[in-house]
Each structure stands twice: as C-alpha cells, then as structure tokens.
Amino acid sequence: MHAVTLIKGDGIGPSIMDEAVKVIDASGVEIQWEVAYAGLTAYEKFGTPLPDETMASIDKTRLAFKGPLTTIVGGSGFRSINVALRQKYDLYANVRPAKNWPGVVTRYNDVDIVIVRENTEGLYAGLEHYLTPKKDIAESLAVVTRAGSERIVEYAFQYARDNNRKKVTVCHKANILKYTQGLFLDVAREIAPKYPDIQFDEKIIDAACMHMVMDPTQFDVIVCTNMFGDILSDLTAGLVGGLGLIPGANIGKDAALFEAVHGSAPDITGKNLANPTAVIMAGVMMLRHIGEHDAADKIQTAVEKVVNEGKFVTPDLNPQSKCGTVEMGNAIVEAMK
C-alpha cells in the first residue's frame, strides 16, 4: 500500500483527477489517497492557498499527485503555489516528455522529446519587487547556482543514459545573460564529457524554438533553466497534439510530485470537455517512480488504445467527438479489463 497526497486542484482539476484516481484504482495497485487542498480552492475554503495540513501530508507521504492550480495573473493575489511546493520540497527536476501518439494527427509523426527543466531557481526564484513607491519600475532577479545547475544537468544526462536516449541539448541564452545563463552553459559543457555515450549539443533558446517547429526530430533530451523549460514544454505539447496529453514529474532527492503540464483551463471548466490523459499519464509516471511497473504498463496500454481508436476521446483530440472527461475515463477503465 502506497500513501499518496491527492490534491485535486482548481478549475478542471477535480474532474480530471477524479478520472485519474478511478483509472489508477482500477489498475489494481493499492494506493491510500490522502486528500489535501492547495491553490484557489484552498484559499476560498481555508483562507490560505497552502494549508499546513497539506504540507503535513506531503511531509509524511513524500509523494503527491496534483491537479492544476490557478494562479491569478499579475500583481494581485498569492504567489504561485506550484512554485512554492517545488521550492519547499526541493523538487529540482521537472521532467516533461512529449511524444507522438498513434491516432493523433499532427504536423510531424516522429516527435519524441523530453524536457528536463531546472525547477527551483532561475527567474522563478521569486525575487521580484518594485523599486519605487509609484510602482513604475519592477525588478526580477534570476538566481543560477553552480550546485543547482550541476544537479539538473547530471539528472538530464543520467536520464538519457537510463532511458536509452541518444542526445542532450542544453538550451540557453548565454550570449546575452552572460553570468546566469553563462554559468548554466559552462556547467553543461563541463559535465557532458563524463557521458561519452550521450551526444551533447547546445542551442540558443530563440534559435532552438525555430529549429523545434521546423524539425523537432533533431531534439531528444533538452535541459534548461526554469522559465525556458516552462515555455518550451508547452511548445512541445503543441507539436504532439496539445496540452491535454502531456504529463510532468517534479522530482527531488526525497520527495516527488506528479501533475499535468497544463493549467486549470478556466475556459473549459465545468463543461466535461477536459482531456484527462495528461494527468492519467502523470499517474503512470508516478507508478513507475514507485516501482509499480505492471500497473503503469496496464494503464498506458489502455490509454494508448482509447486515444488511438479516437472514439471515446475528448473534443481536443477529435472535434467530432461527443465524449467528455468522464466517458473517456470510463473507456480507459473498460480497456484495462
């Protein structure tokens, strides 16, 4: 029996997380779900976006399965709870795989990219403030440390080796941000020769975006600082069929949190339109992380079958489909029988 902190999240979160829990439970793996709250839902319910009870649960389980959390855009409201959780539990590696799915027609057929994003530093370090009382000058500080860069670059190369990948590309902006991005690039260049079996490449981030939309097959594993990884992973999601398909793992030394790459999707909340695949695949990543490979394989095979058939999928995958979040979850459970 594995104990997992379950945070259903905001917006489409509860509906997709209910399907994910249903699918994971139906796989036969024994999970004891500890329901906890975070984000806007927690703020409205308890007056705080990150209640002590939620942290107490993660302190105990060291494993969380989380739906998307709403963060109000701009200066009003609380700081991102996603960023807070990643920093508090030192979940330094954000792994976001994007691969073509059989049955999902996209511009390219052979995309298979894993973004390994530094998850605790960079421009998301949270050091942002106004410099004047009139609030007409704002400043953000990007923090890049040698230790933080070393551990994420090592993680990327080790991930490549463990998963039979061929190449690691560091995406950076060291031509302009000579200290922060320069340090990250220097570290990548220092570590790369330790992995002679893995090809090393480097690309300036803006050129990398152009190369990625023109020929994504040249990318395999990508390692980058926090914000570049955030942006690039939505780009890779777009290459393989959209945000409804892409899971993410947030990995630390002694804790891990699994979630979709996408957000709380206010535009489709409450309409039974949200694709549960991304969070279900985040559940698959979680099961692999805790060694439950049979259950993970079973779920993955069922999801692939349902997506490939294209009948019981949400409209983001098949605009003609009348199927919603719940029906897709039911079809995946059926496909596991």
Q: Which residues make up the interface to ligand NAD (CB under 6 A)? A: 12, 16, 68-71, 82, 243-244, 259, 262-268, 274-275, 278, 316
CA distance 85 to 66: 11
Catalytic residue from among 43, 89, 124, 159: 124
Query: Distance between the two ends of the chain, CA-based, in angstroms?
Result: 22
Cβ distance to ligand NAD smaller for residue 11 or 148: 11
Residue 240: partners with Cβ closer than 8 Å, 6 or more residues away: 98, 99, 100, 101, 104, 106, 111, 246
CA distance 272 to 265: 12
Shortest Å, Cβ 71 to ligand NAD:
4
Whether 53 and 45 have beta carbons less than 8 Å apart is answered as: no
Shortest Å, Cβ 266 to ligand NAD:
6
Whether 312 and 331 have beta carbons less than 8 Å apart is answered as: yes
Shortest Å, Cβ 248 to ligand NAD:
7
Shortest Å, Cβ 271 to ligand NAD:
10
Cβ distance to ligand NAD smaller for residue 66 or 165: 66
Cβ distance to ligand NAD smaller for residue 165 or 262: 262
Active-site annotation holds for 90: no
Catalytic residue from among 8, 66, 173, 298: 173
Catalytic residue from among 60, 135, 179, 206: 206
Residue nearest to ligand NAD (CB): 263
Of 166, 206, 172, 199, which is closest to residue 187 (Cα–Cα)? 172
Cβ distance to ligand NAD smaller for residue 243 or 285: 243
Using a 10 angstrom Cβ sphere, with 0-12 exposed, 13-18 middle and 19 or more buried, the burial of residue 296 is buried
Active-site annotation holds for 124: yes
Sole residue written with tokens 């040698």: 146
Sole residue written with tokens 């990625």: 212
CA distance 164 to 107: 25
Sole residue written with tokens 């891990």: 256
Of 251, 277, 6, 256, which is closest to residue 114 (Cα–Cα)? 251
Cβ distance to ligand NAD smaller for residue 169 or 250: 250
Active-site annotation holds for 173: yes
Shortest Å, Cβ 317 to ligand NAD:
9
Of 190, 171, 193, which is closest to residue 181 (Cα–Cα)? 171
Whether 114 and 93 have beta carbons less than 8 Å apart is answered as: no
Shortest Å, Cβ 241 to ligand NAD:
10
Active-site annotation holds for 203: no
Cβ distance to ligand NAD smaller for residue 94 or 180: 94
Quote the tokens at residue 170: 């560091």
Q: Return the active site residues.
A: 124, 173, 206, 230
